[in-house]
Amino acid sequence: MGLAVDDLTEMLKGTLEGCVLEIISREETYGYAITRRLNDLGFTDVIDGTVYTILLRLERNQLVQVTKRPSEVGPPRKFYALTDAGRQNLATFWTKWRYVSSRIDKLKEGDA
């Protein structure tokens, strides 16, 4: 890979939660699948523990609701779906993201 994108941890810090909410908004899903989705997207440094920590926070803040469902392999899995508050939070995330990224792009273009 030509680009040095192997250490995004710091830069992703504030946005990962929004990414997780977005993934959950598409369909009800479970922790390990969310990590895999982020890894496939190119965020290869994201580990299950990080996603688990985010899910725990989302649950505490009642942005997601959790349902335990049986799995073919091993113990029941916790599936996550957005609550109304979660959907609102996600909408706010995208508004903020568009604002930040458009400002930063402008800065780069030099006409800010």
Which residues make up the interface to another protein (CB under 8 A)? 30-32, 47-50, 52-53, 56-57, 60, 71, 73-75, 77-78
Of 22 and 59, CB closest to another protein: 59
- C-beta of 35: minimal distance to another protein in Å? 9
Backbone φ/ψ region at 89: left (φ over 0), alpha (ψ -120 to 50), beta: alpha
DSSP, collapsed to helix, strand or coil, labels residue 8 as coil
Instruction: Give min distance, CB of 51 to another protein, in A.
Output: 10
Rounded to the nearest whole angstrom, what is the least distance from the CB of residue 60 to another protein in the complex?
7
Closer to another protein by Cβ: residue 48 or 105: 48
What is the b/e burial string over 32-52, where b = at least 16 CB atoms within 10 angstroms of the residue's CB?
Answer: eebbebbeeeebeebeeebbe
